[in-house]
Amino acid sequence: MLLRQEWAEDAYCTNEIIRHRVKEVIVQEQTPFQKIEIYDLFDYGLCLFIDGIPQSAVKDEWIYHECLVHPAMVCSQRTDHFRILVLGAGEGASLRELLKYEFIKNIDAIDVDRQAVQLFQNHLKEMHHNSYNHPKVHLQFKNAGDFLKGTDNQYDVIISDITDVNFFNLGAVEAHKQADFYELIKRRLKSNGILAMHSSELTEIHYHKHLAMSKLMQNIFTKVFSYRAYIPFFECSWGFLLATNNQHLNPVDMTEGQFKKLMNSKMDLKFITPRNLRSIFTVPNFQNKSLESASYVRDLF
């Protein structure tokens, strides 16, 4: 939301107000699904808000997108026909990070909002680097739940950049329940496949929604890992989840030598390193205890 043509207000928090001073309004457009706002901010440069909630800013979006993509990729098992599914193609930055892996054969990118993606293609090139047009990327405009229900494809890694129950039902032929949606994802993963997803705030104060999502994932997958990174544009630590049925997967056990063998030096990652790959999977003990003892899924979903 733009206030007095000077400040963009972050609508995510209920009990807090965060405002960003706007240098220039680039786009304010209502699509059939959501309100798209693209601004040039004094502190964060080019940025994206959807329905008043900050999504990405060029100054720090690489933290979020490296965390969303690379932990799953470095933990995955290489196959001859390595396939990726991205649910919520959005501004294209996840595609940009995935395309750093030459062994990937195919990326199916799903987004419900054609009009929004066209705006991103035109105005957020600093984020997507023309990734939408790469020959490995196959962009489809449809609801994520409908796509999962209608495909027989099996994927090595699925990146879900949507966790809002209302959002993944936008434009759906039929409503998809939260648990059913992730059951569909599990069916579309190969036996040792990995789901990576963002999952709300994960701070010492605000963590209950993340724990609820983690608990839900534990009811569906054999192994679930929480991790987080501080995103300056969000002004908080943001949570992520890895989920898999691979009994042997543990991202914390990866050595520096294994990491370097899996990663190409030409990737030029700004955030993920062997050392902080392990550190981002460290969460406070009281949160782990809360996850083990509380029934957040029932309360929040």
Four-point Cα dihedral 178, 96, 268, 42, nearest 10: -90
- Which residue in 195, 167, 220 sits closest to 73, CA to CA? 195
- What strands, in cross-sheet order, belong to the sheet with 236-244? 137-141, 104-111, 82-87, 155-160, 189-201, 236-244, 223-231
Nearest to 161 by CA among 264, 57, 238: 238
Handedness of CA 288, 229, 1, 90 (dihedral sign): negative
d(CA 239, CA 39): 25
Q: Is 171 helix (H, G, I), strand (E, B) or coil?
A: coil
Quote the Cα angle for 42-44-46, to 5°.
Answer: 90
54 backbone dihedrals φ, ψ, rounded to 5° = -65, 135
Catalytic residues: 161
**In contact, 99 and 127? CB cutoff 8 Å:** no
Q: What residue has token string 């929480």?
A: 226
